Amino acid sequence: MTEPTAEPFLKSRSLARRALAEGHTAEPGRVNRRLLGALGRHGLLSLLFPEAAGGTATEGVRARDLCLVREALAQESTEAENAVAIQTLGSYPILLAGTAEQVSRWIPPLAAGETVAAFALTEPNAGSDPGALELLAERDADGYRLTGVKVFISNAPDADVYTMFARTTAGAGTRGITAFIVPGDAEGLRGSPLRLLSSHPIGRLELDGVFVPGAQVLGEVDQGFRLAMRVLDLFRPSVGASVVGMAQAALDAAVRHASARKAFGRPIREFQAVSHLLAEMATRLEAARLLVYSAAEAFDAGADRVGRRSAMAKLFATETAQAVVDAAVQVHGAAALEQGHLLEHLYREVRAPRIYEGTSEIQREIIARDLFKGH
């Protein structure tokens, strides 16, 4: 397979170059609205939204297209890849569970990059265990009042709209969670940015009795956890695709360096220790890519045990990518550690995907539980 050649992959790289050529920059760790707008104007975002909702995708939401776009972008620019990934993650719950009115209100500007979305699930005491979610949603007249804290929310506090998950039934675990559409300028909603290892736009949100009308409930009451898991099953293979893209960029850089760099009078690629390391990197990377696209195609086909396959794809791809990038740094030596070097950048960027959207340990738990079903 080596590298996808499907139209969304090739088109994404071309469109990303055009958007990035406009030279948009933003404060590190904050939403780059100018870049997101450029990605919208050049038609890259619309590849991932159905025609009926203002996009250009003729077959609706597909995990495979999401993987193709994210892998392509990760090879060009991790900032552009992050922007597209977070925007779609925040938008897709509305696409998948929203009413016709909700979709027509929010999705077209999101697909155009004019409005910024975010997916707000994680809390200080509910990360790997969303069943422990505490953000309280209390009935109030024809709507709900939301009170509590969200943390490590990508695109917070700058998003224009949040897909927010809150507890509507106490003591019900995952069966008492409801999804809401919460505008970023809602009264009582405050936020602050967080600074992480890489310059990812992410923050903390505090909700003090934020009123959400009943018309902004997303899907059925108490069925929000099911929606969140459906979205994560869709996105986990694409997380794998994004790190495969990063790892491919690292491998390509290592191959170029091994061909040009000389030691003891010959290119270092002629040393078996180096050439065999590169061969191992390429083999593991290809296995990760195949597992990612197999999981994506299973999701699109509505196959059984999609959750298990998505977990396998995310687990294997993120762990493999971390190892490939690390090995590429080793091939380069000290030069790769200098700030501004491609591999120094990738080394920081490749770490977070092993944590977000379910840690590697949680993916193993999902896989193990599925193995023991029926036994």
Q: Which of 1-5, 92-96, 196-200, 291-295 bottoms out in mean pLDDT, i.e. has the lowest?
A: 1-5
* Upstream peptide bond of 157 is cis (omega within 30 degrees of 0): yes
pLDDT at 1: 53
Residue carrying structure tokens 């010959």: 266
Q: Identify the domain boundary among 92, 115, 138.
A: 115
Spatial CB neighbours of 317, under 8 Å, sequence gap ≥ 6: 239, 240, 241, 243, 244, 288, 289, 291, 292
Per-residue model confidence as pLDDT tens digits over 328-349: 999 999 999 999 999 999 999 9
Rounded to the nearest angstrom, the gap between the alpha carbon of residue 202 and the centroid of all alpha carbons in its chain is 12
Q: Identify the domain boundary among 222, 249, 284.
A: 222
Is residue 2 domain-resident? no
Spatial CB neighbours of 368, under 8 Å, sequence gap ≥ 6: none
Is residue 168 domain-resident? yes
| Residue 363: C-alpha distances to residues 165, 307, 309, 313 (Å) | 21, 9, 10, 9
Per-residue model confidence as pLDDT tens digits over 304-318: 889 999 999 999 999
Indicate the burial class of 339 (C-beta count within 10 angstroms; 0-12, 13-18, 19 or more): exposed
Measured distance CA(96)–CA(219) in Å, rounded = 9
**Can you point out the beta strands (E) in 155-265?**
161-167, 177-183, 189-193, 202-213, 217-218, 262-263
Please tell me whether residues 247 and 347 are part of one structural domain.
Answer: yes
Q: Which of 59, 349, 357, 361 is catalytic?
A: 357
Please tell me whether residues 229 and 216 are part of one structural domain.
Answer: no
Mean pLDDT value across the chain: 93
Q: Which of 59-68, 95-104, 117-126, 249-258 bottoms out in mean pLDDT, i.e. has the lowest?
A: 59-68
Question: 91 is in which domain, residue-wise?
Answer: 7-115
Rounded to the nearest angstrom, the gap between the alpha carbon of residue 29 and the centroid of all alpha carbons in its chain is 16
User: Which of 337, 321, 334, 254 has its CA nearest to residue 287?
Assistant: 321
Helix boundaries (H) for 98-135: 100-111
Element (H, E) at 144: strand 143-154
Helix boundaries (H) for 22-126: 33-41, 63-76, 78-97, 100-111
Burial of 83-115, coded b for 16+ CB within 10 Å and e otherwise, reads bbbbbbbbbbbbbebbeeebbebbbbbbbbbeb
Largest Cα span, the chain: 80
pLDDT at 166: 97
pLDDT interval class at 5 (50, 70, 90): low
Tell me what the mean pLDDT of segment 264-273 comes to. 95
Residue 168: which CATH number? 2.40.110.10
Q: Identify the domain boundary among 67, 86, 115.
A: 115
What is the tally of structural domains in the chain? 3
255: its two tokens: 């191959």
Please tell me whether residues 104 and 192 are part of one structural domain.
Answer: no
2: pLDDT strictly greater than 70: no
192: pLDDT strictly greater than 70: yes
Is residue 317 domain-resident? yes
365 noted as active-site residue: no
Asked if 57 and 47 touch (Cβ cutoff 8 Å), the reply is yes
